[in-house]
Amino acid sequence: MNISLTLILCAVLVSVAVADEFHKGGVGTCSVCHVIHTLADGNPVVPTADNNYLLRENTPSDLCLSCHATSNGAVWSNNPLVPAPQRGAGNFIFEQAANLNDAPDGAQHPLSGGHGVHNCVAPSQNSDVDPVHDVAPGGSYPSKYLGCTSCHDPHGNTNFRMLWGVGHIPAGDFTFMYSAPYADGTPLDSAAESRTLHTAYHSGWTNWCRNCHGLYHADGSQGFEHPVDGPLTGHTRVSYELYDGSGNPTGGIPQQSYLPEVPFESRTVTINSTNGPEMQSRIACITCHRAHGSSAVDLGRWDFRVANLRLDGSPSGSYPIPNPYTSGTIERSLCVKCHEQDTRTHGFTQACIECHREETLVREKLDPARPVRSIK
């Protein structure tokens, strides 16, 4: 039990209107989120799991969404074809999409929106537990407790976006082993993500996801094998700097090569910087995934099942992720941003993961599955 919070609870009983700085770096006014009951002796009833934390809404996520669904950095919105502006983490509304599968035969093999997001339990948005995974793939966090406060500290802290660091978290009665990641974010009321306005990821991102997922992909037991941590290699850095879309694959300008759709970790990146990776820049989970979700299966920053980005959204009828490049008549998968040299002679007509993943595991994972060719 958090003693300092209880002490504050005893002190703060007056309701105050929500200010612009509601929980920036600290606890907001208790009564905005909790119903304050007083015992006969005059002391307040302390929020616990047994009394649903005396929350003003049914669940923690419904509470957060009473302010964050369509405003204050809107993370939900109302229509899966009209998501709120992208600010880094991505939108949860795609959970309501009927089909996200943009593989060529995706129309015949629909995968519902729950495959594209971290499913937060929030009855006010008709959002329920993930239908496929009981626990976080690669880890043990129980899906039925997944919500905003699985990742964000409702009482605020000085971490980036109030993310939890090492220690116990009430939601799911779980313990995080790894620290909160370092980053700088854009203001919640700023314009949408762009090449000159984006989260600046500094360090610790793979370890933070690792709290719930382990080092997913690292050993190949999960289907798609890939490094998830560590410095970019020389040839992937050069590829990143020079790749400017399929129409200009080697003629890009390094100082203008940063792509928020394919971010890397760096100590020197800023929310406005446009330069490509440096020697110490690292790959991390957020290089390929959004933290909340996207309109692509598996929270992809781009759709891993699409060979030509211009066709994203077509087979499924889902929201097409905006294409960062316009130079080519086709635009290849953004895996090519780092692998241009490796893919000069192959991978033009099929999605990369059709070959670069283990076949049988995928069949089990994403039923109904489709034929794939396996090389690893």
Helix (H, G, I), strand (E, B) or coil at 197: strand
Binding of ligand HEC at residue 143 (CB under 6 A)? Answer: yes
Binding of ligand HEC at residue 224 (CB under 6 A)? Answer: yes
Of the listed pieces 206-214, 268-276, 313-321, 323-331, which binds ligand HEC according to CB under 6 A? 206-214
Binding ligand HEC (rule: CB under 6 A), the pick from 109, 195, 226, 363 is: 226
Among residue numbers 267 through 306, which ones bind ligand HEC (CB under 6 A)?
283, 285-289, 291-292, 298-299, 304
> What are the start-end ranges of the H helices in 160-278?
205-213, 234-242
DSSP percent split of the chain into helix, strand, coil, nearest 5: 25, 10, 65
Binding of ligand HEC at residue 207 (CB under 6 A)? Answer: no
Distance CA 171, CA 92 (A): 19
Binding of ligand HEC at residue 355 (CB under 6 A)? Answer: yes
Binding of ligand HEC at residue 100 (CB under 6 A)? Answer: no
Q: Which helix (H) or strand (E) holds 174?
A: strand 174-176
Distance CA 21, CA 84 (A): 21
Helix (H, G, I), strand (E, B) or coil at 142: strand
Contact 252, 242 (CB under 8 A): yes
Binding of ligand HEC at residue 242 (CB under 6 A)? Answer: no
Contact 301, 276 (CB under 8 A): no
In the stretch 29-58, what mask flags binding to ligand HEC with x, by CB under 6 A?
A: xx-xxx-----------xxx----x-x---
Binding of ligand HEC at residue 259 (CB under 6 A)? Answer: no
Shortest Å distance, C-beta 120 to ligand HEC: 4
Best CA proximity match to 34, nearest among 52, 11, 50: 52
Residues that bind ligand HEC (rule: CB under 6 A) add up to a total of 122
Distance CA 373, CA 376 (A): 10
Q: Output Rg (C-alpha) for the chain, integer angstroms.
A: 22
Range 206-224 burial, b when 16+ CB lie within 10 A, else e: bbbbbbbbbbbbbeeebbb
Of the listed pieces 18-26, 245-253, 267-275, 309-317, which binds ligand HEC according to CB under 6 A? 18-26
Binding ligand HEC (rule: CB under 6 A), the pick from 106, 154, 245, 260 is: 154
Binding ligand HEC (rule: CB under 6 A), the pick from 77, 211, 294, 308 is: 211
Among residue numbers 68 through 97, which ones bind ligand HEC (CB under 6 A)?
68, 72-73, 75, 87-89, 92
Binding of ligand HEC at residue 22 (CB under 6 A)? Answer: yes
In the stretch 163-192, what mask flags binding to ligand HEC with x, by CB under 6 A?
A: x------xx-------------x--x----
